[in-house]
Amino acid sequence: MTARNSAAYDIADITRDQGFTGATVHIHPTKWTSRRRNIILRALRDGLSTAGYDTSRFIEQLTRAYGSTVINAAQGNNIPLDAVRDDKREAMLAYTAAWVKIKLSKVNDSNRWDYDIYLISRWMESMEAGNILTSFPLPKMAPQDRVAFIKEYLKDDEDSIRTQLADKIEAGEELTSFVEAA
């Protein structure tokens, strides 16, 4: 990823104002390198990204701004519930609960305070309490295995927002989105 545009620092300062409600962002895909364009298009078509941290984060935020999702398969630790196929949610819940229980059963003094252990134990507590889950933790596995695992549960994307976004990028159209303040 290229160096941050100096205007981004000015925008970041503006966003700190309590009156800030959002900003419109314009992106010209024609200014991307062909490699970056291909990485982004592949992620949009597949529904998951195996790119580096910065590129995957960009793809994730871009698709969220358009109301869709791309899973970060390389570094993400969770799958958002809205990205999982409806007919696979129960299977995903059962599989996740099983591997989390196994992992937590092997906790000992040397890894008790590990951050990943903390996160999955919080997920398990939330699930057992009957809380509404918004995401599922991913097990630690090789990147290729992780991609295959995610694809098994990922929603199909025919004629969807991601496909439309990919078509706009291929056509060289300017991408415009309104990013609302949190």
Instruction: State the SS3 of the chain.
Output: CCCCCHHHHHHHHHHCCCCCCEEEEEECHHHCCHHHHHHHHHHHHHCEECCCHHHHHHHHHHHHHCCCCCEECCCCCEEEHHHECHHHHHHHHHHHHHHHHHHHHCCCCCCCCCHHHHHHHHHHHHHHCCCCCCEEECCCCCHHHHHHHHHHHECCCCCCHHHHHHHHHHHCCCEEEEEECC
Q: Whole domain around residue 58: which residue ranges?
A: 25-76+142-182
The dihedral sign for the CA sequence 138, 143, 145, 150: positive
Q: Which of 119, 137, 155 is the last residue of a domain?
A: 137
Domain count, the chain: 2
For residues 120 and 39, state if they share a domain.
no
Tell me: the pLDDT tens digits for 33-81? 999 999 999 999 888 888 888 888 889 888 888 888 788 876 667 888 8
For residues 154 and 68, state if they share a domain.
yes
For residues 93 and 114, state if they share a domain.
yes
Kindly indicate the confidence band of residue 10, based on its pLDDT and cuts at 50, 70 and 90: confident
- Residue at 12 is within a domain: no
- Cross-strand bridge partners of residue 177: 25
- Residue at 11 is within a domain: no
**Angle, vertex CA 48, rays to CA 102 and CA 83, nearest 5:** 70
- Residue at 102 is within a domain: yes
Q: What pLDDT, on the 0 to 100 scale, is given for residue 64?
A: 84
The dihedral sign for the CA sequence 79, 161, 22, 14: positive
Q: Please state, for a pLDDT cut of 70, what percent of the chain lies above it.
A: 94
For residues 103 and 179, state if they share a domain.
no
Distance CA 29, CA 40 (A): 10
Cα 20 to chain center, whole Å?
Answer: 25
pTM: 0.73
